[in-house]
Chain A
């Protein structure tokens, strides 16, 4: 019967390869036929009804939409024949969506089947609830199913279905599943004689325990004893659940998963038994296999890997961690690719445990070898990840060297990530910055195309900030540039560094100013517009550094290819620089073209980039391009305090970032003003130089994260106090400027500076204050604050004034931080863990483990969490030593729910802070801010 139909459909399927049309034609014919049968006057018997419903189902599974037959399927449910009922349920499970109006009829049929006491019918009904799982179904059956599940006389197979059915309802409508006395009885299903029931129950309990850890705490000891019985059983004991001599592998895996919902058991007896189990599992891996079949070892290893995850999760038994590491080490050389892949992956997590980090490091040679010999790119990728994870100061040179040499042959798909990793490791573990410079230059040489802007910006920032490496950097780039073909990124780095520090190597006749210039200029014509623009800035810097090459450079600038360049940016630079070099005196030149001041220290942008790479790509890409565009228009995202002047000197804003495709019209001051106008620009700019941040202001800033009032800054002349209040996305800050001297301050001008990144996200409005501040007096300034969207940087408050004839200039960070827009949210334990679970996407969570900087006092910690703005939730975390908080960040555009959890470890004097919010940047920022508080 059915077979015939399938046979025919199959024939038509053979057509499918040839023509889609033929298939559609054939199916439409069949559909019309079925439709007429259903509509026909003759009532169909159960058998035909089943036949046609089954055909519809098949057509649906071929990928065609079905818009009728639902009623007939529902009719089949009330049949007493298993085959008919089964097809009816199958059709409904696959095709009925949750808001169908048929749901009441279906529910009725299910109710009858549940009451039928026929285990197969009950099973079908429960399967159907589990696959549809709609709200109406939950309303109708959520009360009923727990009873079926724990009733003493329920058949085993029905219990299994009931357990997973309940799991489904709990996932879709947790509010409708009442917790009650059945919960404790569910936990005892772990003791059930029937392993199938235990398998199903473990899945249910795991989910319930994740959300209500306290209520299901007893499951730990039960799971341990169940696991222990399985692990120690002879392979014949569990008859049917032994799979190729491995006792109940899938159940063992599930039990080990369940245990990962909890910290290590507190009861020493339970803990001892669990440790014994884990040891037995590790021992078994060393025993000779009971079967040569691959199924045997696969099943055994599945349990082993899960056991290792549990060991890593507990992170408390150094002995087990080291054994796990050794076991994985053996797998690293196994002939099965799958095992090598998984071993590399789990070792990555082992590397972050303090107990096993050293043990992981002993496998470095094997991992490096894997990098060279593995044939599968995904395995090599894991090897790179592991090298990155095991890297520390002791092995950084070796790992970086290996990654660099791998990069020469690496797959294109993972090159950029490796470049970022190398750049981060080189910076993080650089003792000797010459090594760092060498590494990055090598990086550019080997994989220049994959070196993103962040990477080469960073090397320049570091060279500028560290004067011990500047001479070396200049010498090295000079040598690197000698290569006949060098990557454009090298030209950029080289141009920038020689422009700043070329004088440091000019004493050597082999790298005299003219040679330096000729070398750079030999690359000029091969480069893209942004690089050429950068080189032009280098040339004008040369004019200042080496007066002897000034005529040569002026000749170059004067040539038609520069002065009449079709590109506006290049032309403008050539015109302005040429003019500047002729008009300005040596002093002015020296001021305008002075060496770059150090960059403010902050988190490496490369790290941020790597983190971003791991996220979902589509969204970020879009944001990226948007951001880049705004950067171009505004000249650059660098915060103002870093730059000495705007447009024309090689400041980071003008050269490092903003030159790209800057549209000519809105780019700063009107470009048509020519040379004379430029000088005015230069002067007016240099008069408003913003001071670098005042020393110690970082500390003061951190103090304001959890409080709103206090003294922000104080020196011998000036005191700045703050009082602020915030409600939802708005805030108001009172700034008090106190003159501590007995003399007037003149031209007193405080300015609020928001970087280009910050500006669109944070609105600050204020009125200017009186320019004269009498001796001993205090003036007040009110700032109205509006948070438009989440932000990371803080605004800078710059104050300039004259005191007794000297010009004073102070900059401090203004403590307006994202957490100020928190509104606390109270919630019960259940709600908290449910939401916690909902935010389980890896991008939503940010975690930081750090050493305590202050004494670990519970009350102080509580006060800080409340001061941070979130609600402090008591009795939510199963471990009373932990702190959890919840709140909502209000911004004008959106509200972001935030959950946080702080786990102190008194012994180690460490904290682990976990932030989960719906937005990665928010989690990141809040975690950063709060981590600095403890």
Chain B
């Protein structure tokens, strides 16, 4: 998840990538996506990967996959993810993701595990966060 200035807001790797290589990789990937216009399609190739991306206001969500995935399915999965975030944060902005990085991670972990889509049902994705919420309420009392 990257903003228009090219700053990474959230990144998750399902294969080991060295931390110092990550920054470089992310920069190149986002450059690739930013250089494309709205008229161009949402799929592009980067090295051995296919990049599938969607833009939400100033925020890009980019997914890199190998050839075992279906482009259209991932494309729409991104939207599903954003809808879940939307529901949880009522309206997602970049700042939400900044301040609630841990929660975004939980949501993503519930949806994608080990690089595979694991859950697509909104209520079930958000279940752990409800536990979290109830615990927080407890502790505040």
- CB contact under 8 A between A199 and B40, given known A10-B98, A54-B102, A127-B109: no
Known contacts A7-B99, A342-B71, A342-B72; A378 and B118 CB within 8 A of each other: no
Given known A120-B131, A127-B109, A341-B43, contact A6–B99 (CB-CB < 8 A): yes
Determine whether B79 belongs to the interface, using a CB cutoff of 8 Å to chain A: yes
Q: Is A65 touching B19 in the complex (CB atoms < 8 A)?
A: yes
Are A253 and B73 closer than 8 Å at their CB atoms?
Answer: yes
Cβ-based interface call for B76 (8 A): yes
Which residue of A16, A54, A81, A200 is within 8 Å of B135 (Cβ)?
A: A81
Chain B residues within an 8 Å CB radius of A120: 128, 131
A298 B76 Cβ-Cβ under 8 A: yes
Decide if A753 is an interface residue (CB 8 Å cutoff). no
Q: Which residues of A contact B11 (CB under 8 A)?
A: 61
Interface string of B55-96 (1 = CB under 8 A from A): 000000000000010111101110110000000000000010
Q: A residues within 8 A CB of B72?
A: 298, 301-302, 305, 338, 342
> Distance in Å from the Cβ of A331 to the closest Cβ of chain B?
11
A164 to B80, Cβ gap below 8 A? no
- Which single member of B40, B48, B128 contacts A378 (CB below 8 Å)? B40
Interface residues on B, range: 35 or more
Is the beta-carbon distance between A295 and B79 smaller than 8 angstroms?
Answer: yes
Pair B43/A196 contact, Cβ less than 8 Å: no
CB distance from A254 to the nearest CB of B (A): 7
Given contacts A83-B132, A86-B132, A123-B128, contact A199 B120 (CB under 8 A): yes
In the assembled complex, how far is the CB of residue B9 from the closest CB belonging to chain A, in whole angstroms? 9
Q: Which residue of B lies closest to A256 (CB)?
A: B70
Chain B hits for A7, CB < 8 A = 99
Asked if A812 CB lies within 8 Å of chain B CBs, one says: no
A82 at the interface (CB under 8 A from B): yes
Contact A240 B123, beta carbon cutoff 8 Å: yes
Q: Are B118 and A160 in contact (CB under 8 A)?
A: yes
Smallest beta-carbon distance B67→chain A, Å: 8
Residues of chain B contacted by A338 (CB below 8 angstroms): 41-43, 71-72, 75
- Interface size for A (C-beta < 8 A) is 70
Given contacts A58-B101, A87-B102, A337-B40, contact A302 B122 (CB under 8 A): no
Q: How far is the CA of A90 from the CA of B70 in the complex (A)?
A: 29
Of B10, B23, B102, the residue contacting A90 (CB under 8 A) is B102
Q: What's the Cα separation between A17 and B3 when bound, in Å?
A: 13
Q: At the interface, yes or no: B136 with Cβ under 8 Å from chain A?
A: yes
* A165 interface hit (Cβ, 8 Å): yes
- Report the nearest B residue to A123, measured CB to CB: B128
Q: Cβ of A131 < 8 Å from any Cβ of B? A: yes
Interface contact B99-A3, CB-CB below 8 Å:
yes
Q: Closest A-chain residue to B79, C-beta based?
A: A295
Nearest A-chain residue to B83, judged by Cβ: A295
Chain A positions 346 through 368: 1 when the CB is less than 8 Å from some CB of chain B, otherwise 0: 00000000000000000000000
Specify which chain A residues have a CB less than 8 angstroms from the CB of B117 in the assembled complex: 199, 203, 250, 254
Q: How far is the CB of A886 from chain B (nearest CB, A)?
A: 24
Bound-state CA distance A354–B116 (Å) is 34
User: Nearest Cβ in chain A — how far from B65, in angstroms?
Assistant: 12
B106 touches A250 (CB 8 A): no
Bound-state Cα–Cα, A295 to B120, Å: 14
Residues in A whose Cβ lies below 8 Å from that of B119 = 160, 196, 199-200
Contact, CB under 8 Å: A376 / B77:
no
A849 CA to B119 CA in the complex, in Å?
A: 40
Asked if B31 is at the interface of the complex by the 8 Å CB criterion, the answer is no
Max chain A Cβ within 10 angstroms of own Cβ: one of B19, B44, B109, B116 = B116
Task: Report if A110 contacts B (CB, 8 A).
Answer: no
What sequence of 0s and 1s flags, for each residue 163-204 of chain A, a beta carbon within 8 Å of any chain B beta carbon?
011011000000000000000000000000001100110010
Q: Write the nearest CB–CB distance from A103 to chain B, whole angstroms.
A: 15
Quick check: B124 and A82 within 8 Å, CB to CB?
no
- A270 at the B interface (CB under 8 A): no
- Measured between C-beta atoms, what is the minimum distance from A97 to chain B in Å? 8
Contacts of A165 in B (CB 8 A): 113-114
**Residue pair B98, A253 in contact (C-beta under 8 Å):** no
Residue interface bits B105-141, CB-to-A below 8 A is 1, else 0: 1100100011011111111100110011001100100
Q: Mark A856-871, 1 if CB is under 8 A from B, else 0.
A: 0000000000000000
Interface code A115-139, partner B: CB below 8 Å = 1, 0 otherwise? Answer: 0000010010001001101000000
Nearest chain A CB to B122's CB is how many angstroms away?
7
For chain B, residues 9 to 31, give those with C-beta under 8 angstroms from any C-beta of chain A.
10-11, 16, 19, 22-23
Is B114 within 8 A of A131, CB to CB?
yes
Residues of B within 8 A of A342 (CB): 43, 71-72
Chain B residues, CB < 8 A from A340: 41
Chain A 450-487, CB within 8 Å of chain B: the 1/0 string? 00000000000000000000000000000000000000
Cβ distance A292 to chain B, nearest Cβ, rounded Å: 16
Counting CB contacts under 8 A, is A379 at the interface? yes
Which residue of chain A lies nearest to B14 when distances are taken between CB atoms in the complex?
A131
Q: Which of B73, B113, B132 contacts A164 (CB 8 A)?
A: B113
Q: Please state if B101 and A61 are interface contacts (CB–CB under 8 Å).
A: yes
Select one of B40, B45, B71, B135 contacting A375, CB under 8 A.
B40
Contacts of B124 in A (CB 8 A): 157, 196, 240
Q: How far is the CA of A90 from the CA of B7 in the complex (A)?
A: 22
B74 to chain A, nearest CB (A): 8
Set of chain B residues within 8 Å of A341, measured between Cβ atoms = 41, 43
Give the contacting residue for B73; candidates A58, A161, A250, A375; CB below 8 A: A250
Query: A249 at interface (Cβ–Cβ under 8 A)?
Result: yes
Shortest beta-carbon distance from B2 to chain A in Å: 13
Tell whether A302 pairs with B102 under 8 Å between CB atoms, given A83-B136, A127-B113.
no
Q: Is A299's CB within 8 Å of the partner chain B? A: yes
Counting from the closest, the 6 A-B pairs by CB-CB distance are: A302-B72, A302-B73, A203-B116, A376-B40, A341-B41, A337-B41
Known: A243-B120, A250-B120, A306-B70. 18 other contacts (CB 8 A): A54-B102, A61-B10, A82-B132, A86-B128, A127-B109, A195-B121, A199-B117, A199-B118, A240-B121, A241-B120, A249-B73, A257-B68, A295-B79, A302-B72, A303-B73, A337-B39, A338-B75, A341-B41
Please name 8 pairs of A and B residues whose Cβ atoms are closer than 8 Å in the assembled complex, sorted by A: A196-B119, A240-B124, A243-B80, A248-B120, A299-B73, A302-B76, A305-B72, A376-B39
